[in-house]
């Protein structure tokens, strides 16, 4: 059975949940067998305090916009059921998990996100792969050639979609985020591999000339002197 992965991001009123700051946006996109399924969970949340001006400059979410949105307590159970049992993929996971767990505790909910899910921190993965380099989401997009030109401001759902692409490249697998069309857990419904018929192709074969062979042998003689023997001469 394939692991259900949820790429998750949040936006907040400020940077410190212990100082009373709140989560104001949660964005989740689902991925199974390294393909986006099209299943998402996205909510804006009315906070218990005003959004700081510095935070608005980052994500553009204003107090006026949030005035009629539901509070965290109204959405918490729905959110937990969406992510339950999944492998969460988060950039700088300590920040998002810390905020979410603080919100759950603040609203009298005993469950914790990292107790019902496993967590992969792509920032930690990136730091191991690219030590000493910038590893923000924007920096990784530039490094991997991922188009994030539509990202003028931070947004939880948009950042989750971009992070999904970054995660696939970062972990060395598929880089195209095609929605699963007809895919199933056992692989049925996948488009079969199409082989190219090369029988009609007339490919020229260019063989080495006498001078080229002599130069190659001279090079192998040089390798023999500098090593324990040229391995090419042991190949048939």
Q: Which residues belong to the active site? A: 154
Close Cβ partners of 31 (under 8 Å, ≥ 6 residues apart):
4, 5, 6, 7, 37, 89, 164
Angle at CA of residue 86, ends 139 and 149, nearest 5°: 25
Q: What share of the chain is helix, strand, coil (3-state, %, to 5)?
A: 40, 15, 45
Report the distance separating Cα 170 and Cα 122, nearest Å: 8
Report the distance separating Cα 217 and Cα 204, nearest Å: 25
Q: What DSSP letter does each residue of 96-110 carry, written as one string?
A: HHHHHHHHHHHTT--
Asked if 133 and 4 touch (Cβ cutoff 8 Å), the reply is no
Token pair, residue 108, equals: 């009298």
The label of the residue with tokens 């001279």 reads 218
């Amino acid at each position: 059975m394939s692991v259900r992965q949820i790429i998750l991001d949040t936006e907040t009123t400020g940077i410190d949940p212990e100082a009373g700051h709140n989560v104001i946006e949660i964005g989740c996109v689902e991925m199974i067998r390294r393909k986006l399924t099209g299943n998402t969970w996205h909510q804006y949340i009315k906070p218990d305090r005003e959004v700081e001006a510095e935070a608005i400059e980052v994500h553009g979410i204003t107090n006026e916009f949030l005035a009629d949105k539901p509070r965290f307590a109204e959405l918490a159970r729905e959110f937990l059921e969406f992510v339950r049992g999944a492998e969460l993929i988060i950039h700088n996971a300590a920040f998002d998990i810390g905020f979410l767990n603080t919100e759950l505790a603040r609203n009298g909910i005993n469950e914790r996100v990292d107790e019902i899910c496993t967590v992969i921190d792509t920032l930690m993965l990136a730091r191991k792969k690219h030590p000493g380099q910038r590893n923000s989401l924007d920096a990784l997009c530039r490094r991997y050639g991922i188009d994030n030109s539509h990202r003028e401001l931070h947004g939880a759902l948009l950042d989750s979609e971009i992070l999904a692409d970054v995660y696939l490249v970062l972990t060395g697998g598929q880089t195209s985020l095609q929605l699963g069309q007809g895919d199933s857990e056992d692989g049925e419904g996948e488009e079969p591999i199409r082989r190219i018929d090369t029988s009609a192709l007339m490919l020229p074969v260019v063989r080495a000339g006498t001078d080229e062979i002599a130069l190659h042998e001279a090079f192998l003689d040089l390798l023999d002197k500098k090593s324990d023997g040229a391995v090419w001469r042991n190949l048939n």
